[in-house]
Amino acid sequence: MTRVIQVIVESQPVLLKQQKVHKRAYEGESIILSCNPPESSTPPLIHWMDKKMVHIRQSERVIVGLDGNLYFANLLKTDSRDDYICNAQYAAARTVLPESAVTLTVMPSNDVLHGKKPHLFHPTGLHSSVMALKGDSVTLECIPKGLPTPKVEWKKKDGKLDETSGQVDNHGRWLYFDSITQNDDGEYECRAFNSHGSTSHSFSVSVEASPYWVKEPQNLLYSPGETVRLDCQAEGIPTPTVTWSMNGQPITGTVPRRSVSGGVLRLMDVEFGDTAVYQCEATNKHGSILTNTYLHVLPPQILSSDGVVYKVTEGGDIKMHYNVTVFPFQFLNSYVTHISLLIHSFLCVARYTIFENGTLKVTNLHSEHTGNYSCEVITSLDHVKSSGSITVVAPPDPPRDLSVSEIDPQGGTLTLSWTPGHSHNSPIIEFIIQAREEQHTEEGQWRWEEWKKTPGDFSEVELKLQPFCTYRFRIIAVNELGHSEPSKPSEHFSTPPAVPYSNPSGVRSDSKDPGTLIISWDEMDKRFHHGQGFQYKVFWREADGKGVHWNHGYTTGPPFLINNTGTYTPFEIKVQAVNSLGEGPAPVAEIGHSGEDLPMEAPSGVSVTVMNSTVRVKWNEAQKVRGLLLGYKVKLITTIQQLTLCWFLVTEVPGLRLFSQYELSVTVFNSKGEGPRSKVHPFNTPEGAPGPPASLTFESPTDKSLILYWTPPIERNGILLGYIVQYQEEVDNIGGEVQMQFISDPSVTHLELKPLDPSSYYIFNVMARTAAGDGPPITRRGFHFFERPSHFLSFFNIFMNLMYFCVFYVGGGIQWQNSEVVNSTQGFYTLTGLQPGTDYHLAIFQGNSTPHWQEKLRTNGPGMYMPGGFATQGWFIGLISAVVLLVLILLILCLIKRSKGGKYAVKDKEDKEVDSEARPMKDETFGEYSDADEKRSDSQPSLCGDSKLGSDDSLAEYGDSVDIQFNEDGSFIGQYSGRGPVPHGNESSGPASPVNAVPPPPIAPSMSTILNRPS
């Protein structure tokens, strides 16, 4: 199959200079705000946003159409704003182009009291026709206007809408088909209505399809003289035309042995020369498809293996495959050895069938069909023969003739014998002996149980039986094919009664209340009673060794209750099985207890040892627990209650707060519950070193001083005595001499440090102090003035005292130029008006000091190139010189005339507008640009000396701008916000140059974040 691919190469989309648009309309009227982005082979995605990069909220009243325009069904006063901006996103080019902002002013009107009948913005007229290819996505759009806002409903005029794949979307304005099918073909209608009337529009949707295969010819082998039919069927709308080619050459004309009828190609009496590649091509106006078929003409031969043995289950079917390369056969014979049967071509006898492909099928096979089979193919050129055999296998027949012999009443054993059934060509692997006890089981609950397995060559087995029971037996034979049917059950066999062979298991005490002993056990199955009059004989005696006499009683089942046994007294207990013939074997004694009660006494001898934040508690073993001792509970009481469980007479409780007061008590508990508390023991934890101060920030009142601010530690762990402040200058990442100051007043939480080097890093440590010592410090690493910028400025726990600075730049042999004063809280600065493809040297100064940062870089784009043409010729230079001289003479004459005529007021205005050019977005973030007018001084200021403090470049007026400041602890004050406040200062007016690509702040929102943010 072949496909045609179209490759389109186009340039980067660029937005041309645009004029600002200001529209006025009255309240209640409808209006359209147009969006006309540059054309592209891939239509851009349109996003209407405000200057803060927040999507314009869409609703039934305000909607963005498929054409990218913004439609207002009716206007409200709140629609007035000056920042309707159409942003075109070119996903493939990774570019977003914002058009000029549209200003919309809505004026009040009394027409809103009357309302308006619905009309359609789009589409126009009463009917539209839509043609789509099967599988494409299709959107039908109806955008109404009117007051109040019209509703839109969709219907299928020639069917039901819910039976199509269409989905109503975009506040009811779209009917969307994700993958349209022929079932979606038909007439659709949208109807817009409100309280003043309605309007409608109908769509005729025609679904067509490019060609697709319904049936493709297969690659096959043929013998000379056969007839070949190649069937090629394709569908599409309109119906495609099918043509044939042979080895790439179209098949035309009429050949006696070849005919073409539609998609069917017939070759009669094929020869070796007909071996070729045949192509079938289907074409309609929407495209074409091509498939290849390989035709091989070979001499006759049998491809099946000779002497194959087929094994099949009795009653099943078997197909003996004889794969030959010639068909139809001139003679086909199948011979069955040991069976008087001769099958000629296409003749079916009984259960034998010969298929056209040479396969012999034998159905409903039985043992008598086992034998050898042969297939012989005879042509005019040659004959071949192949043979195979069939072995019919099946599960074995059930055993028969079950008999019981050699009965041993004393030992309870018998011998069961049988005769195996037919194995059906698969040897018997084993026999399964099953038994059923019927005397002690209700008839409806009788079930066969597997007792034993014997090898397949056994025909008898010895079984041990329980006394006083009635049994029946049966046997199942097993081979590789499965299990046989069970044999007929044997006759009933009953065993005589006997004394019990065993005693009950699980003897235990389940005592609950004090003064009682409850003995329980697991009841025995009736099959193990072994006779009439079955009972349990229960024995008990105290286990303290005071008496050797056993008390006993009889019962027919558990439990067995004994009173007046004290509280948690140990007893020896045992249970014996007895029946009318006697007692079972001697039982084994177990230890049980009478019921428990709550502990009577609290632990004594409680002592407490305090070790910093850990307390060690000891006590004496509890007396009069009156039950099984499960453990002790240590309770600590302060602002909250803390509980510790332990099983020993000593424990340690860690994690206590220093310089705190606690109360402690101990209790003992058993399964009944908890006993009384011990005496309360109060104790205090000692004073300890404090934790680090909670925060550390600073500010700079002068160029060479800093004021540190901190807050007291959260964990004081004692009485604060003061603070220790350490700081050191960092030179080449190595700490210098440590300066230290001690503050003895704990209420003082600030300190001024001076003099400091404004160009160096410093490391600051502040520690709190108690009588127990100094706590850990809180550490900050900071820079007094300004940190060297990089392509992306990132600050992680680094403090700076940011001042105002200037950016100096020079390029192309020009002298140094300086920007306006930039507030360092801005986070970045954009240089505009640079030349593409030019080398520049950038530097940052503060005051008239040495530069804090400098770097050389080259702007993007082609550089200015002056070819050596006529401009370098002498005659051209002379002509230009003469023109310049003439202009100077005219200027002098004008000045003389003006001085004679008097003074005139001259007002010079320069409206400088820099075209905003879109640049490719990196990492899907917006580039640097501004929609205001750039303001600059006409004169060249000195080295930041006369520049006003504040930045004229700011992205704060853009909705997702970053307001970057530093507070006292050096962290960012501004956070990314969709609706952040505009920072104070001079507002930036000039758009960013596309040549000087200044990277955005590191926390600037990504393009995907802005575009996908809900409006």
Q: In the listed set 207, 225, 249, which residue is the last one of a domain according to the structure?
A: 207
Residue 879 three-state SS? helix
Q: Could you give the number of structural domains in the chain? A: 7
Asked whether residue 416 is domain-assigned, the answer is no
Radius of gyration of the chain (CA): 52
Asked whether residue 599 is domain-assigned, the answer is no
What single letter denotes the amino acid at residue 340? S
pLDDT of the residue at 845 = 64
92 and 170 together in one domain = yes
> What is the pairing mode between strands 508-509 and 470-479?
unpaired
Kindly provide the residue ranges of all beta strands, DSSP E only, lying in 101-177, ordered along the sequence. Answer: 102-107, 116-122, 127-133, 138-141, 143-147, 151-156, 167-169, 174-177
823 and 678 together in one domain = no
72 DSSP β-pair partners: 31, 62
Q: Residue written as tokens 């999507």?
A: 55
Q: Residue written as tokens 């069939």?
A: 390
DSSP letters spanning 433-453: EEEEE-SSS-GGG---EEEEE
Q: 339 with 306: CB under 8 angstroms?
A: no
| Four-point Cα dihedral 242, 243, 244, 248, nearest 10 | -120
766 and 628 together in one domain = no
Asked whether residue 447 is domain-assigned, the answer is no
> What is the pairing mode between strands 400-408 and 383-393?
unpaired
Name residues whose C-beta falls within 8 Å of residue 562's C-beta, 6 or more positions apart in sequence.
516, 517, 518, 519, 540, 551
pLDDT of the residue at 821 = 64
997 and 852 together in one domain = yes
292 and 314 together in one domain = no
840 and 933 together in one domain = yes
How many angstroms separate the CA atoms of 797 and 785, rounded?
A: 15
Q: How many angstroms separate the Cα of 922 from the Cα of each of 748, 832, 1007?
A: 50, 19, 9
Q: 974 with 963: CB under 8 angstroms?
A: yes
Q: Which domain holds residue 137?
A: 21-207
Dihedrals phi, psi of 163, to nearest 5 degrees: -90, 0
> What is the pairing mode between strands 258-261 and 413-419?
unpaired
DSSP letter at 642 equals E
How many angstroms separate the CA atoms of 773 and 775, rounded?
A: 7
Q: 789 with 930: CB under 8 angstroms?
A: no
Instruction: Find how far residue 862's CA is from the centre of its chain.
Output: 45
Peptide bond just before 755 cis, omega within 30 deg: yes
DSSP letters spanning 382-422: -EEEEEEEEEEE-PPPPPEEEEEEEEETTTTEEEEEEE---
Question: Would you state the structure tokens that stand for residue 671, as one six-digit string?
Answer: 């399964």
How many angstroms separate the CA atoms of 402 and 196, rounded?
A: 98
> What is the pairing mode between strands 508-509 and 551-555?
unpaired
Q: In the listed set 393, 422, 449, which residue is the last one of a domain according to the structure?
A: 393
Q: In the listed set 650, 684, 718, which residue is the last one of a domain according to the structure?
A: 684
Q: Residue written as tokens 């491809």?
A: 303
3-class DSSP string for 345-387? CCCCECCEEECCCCCEEECCCCHHHCEEEEEEEECCCCEEEEE
How many angstroms separate the CA atoms of 273 and 294, rounded?
A: 13
185 and 263 together in one domain = no
How many angstroms separate the CA atoms of 54 and 190, rounded?
A: 31
253 and 273 together in one domain = yes
By CB atoms closer than 10 A (0-12, 13-18, 19+), residue 796 is: exposed
How many angstroms separate the CA atoms of 58 and 48, rounded?
A: 10
Q: 517 with 540: CB under 8 angstroms?
A: yes
768 and 804 together in one domain = no
The dihedral through the CA atoms of 31, 33, 36, 40 has a sign that is negative
Kindly report the length of the chain: 1015
Asked whether residue 429 is domain-assigned, the answer is no
Longest dimension (CA), the chain: 158
CATH code at 26? 2.60.40.10
How many angstroms separate the CA atoms of 457 and 418, rounded?
A: 12
Residue among 982, 981, 963 at smallest CA distance from 973: 963
Asked whether residue 697 is domain-assigned, the answer is yes
Question: Would you state the structure tokens that stand for residue 419, as one six-digit string?
Answer: 């005769």
Q: 531 with 497: CB under 8 angstroms?
A: yes
87 and 193 together in one domain = yes
Per run of 10 residues, the mean pLDDT along the chain (length 1015 residues) is 64 76 91 88 88 91 93 93 91 84 90 87 92 92 94 92 92 93 92 94 93 88 85 91 89 81 86 88 91 83 66 65 51 38 37 67 72 69 69 88 76 85 90 89 82 91 86 92 91 86 92 91 89 92 80 92 90 93 92 90 90 89 87 80 71 87 90 88 91 90 86 92 92 76 93 85 92 93 51 32 45 62 56 73 64 72 52 77 91 84 44 39 38 36 36 36 36 34 36 36 37 40
3-class DSSP string for 998-1009? CCCCCCCCCHHH
Q: How many angstroms separate the Cα of 739 from the Cα of each of 691, 766, 797, 970?
A: 22, 12, 21, 22
Asked whether residue 283 is domain-assigned, the answer is yes
Residue among 324, 240, 253 at smallest CA distance from 289: 240
Q: How many angstroms separate the Cα of 419 from the Cα of each of 398, 402, 458, 475, 476?
A: 9, 7, 10, 10, 11
pLDDT of the residue at 976 = 32
DSSP letter at 55 equals B
| Four-point Cα dihedral 261, 265, 269, 275, nearest 10 | 160
173 and 225 together in one domain = no
Instruction: Find how far residue 724's CA is from the centre of its chain.
Output: 51
Asked whether residue 201 is domain-assigned, the answer is yes
Instruction: Find how far residue 416's CA is from the centre of its chain.
Output: 66
Asked whether residue 542 is domain-assigned, the answer is yes
How many angstroms separate the CA atoms of 13 and 41, rounded?
A: 11
44 and 161 together in one domain = yes
Residue 984 three-state SS? coil
What single letter denotes the amino acid at residue 175? L
Residue among 785, 821, 788, 787 at smallest CA distance from 804: 821
Q: How many angstroms separate the Cα of 127 from the Cα of each of 124, 201, 636?
A: 8, 6, 85
How many angstroms separate the CA atoms of 476 and 488, rounded?
A: 10
DSSP letters spanning 960-977: T-----B-TTS-BS----
| Four-point Cα dihedral 681, 686, 687, 690, nearest 10 | -90
Q: Residue written as tokens 């199959």?
A: 1
> What is the pairing mode between strands 102-107 and 127-133?
unpaired
Q: 188 with 205: CB under 8 angstroms?
A: yes
pLDDT of the residue at 958 = 34
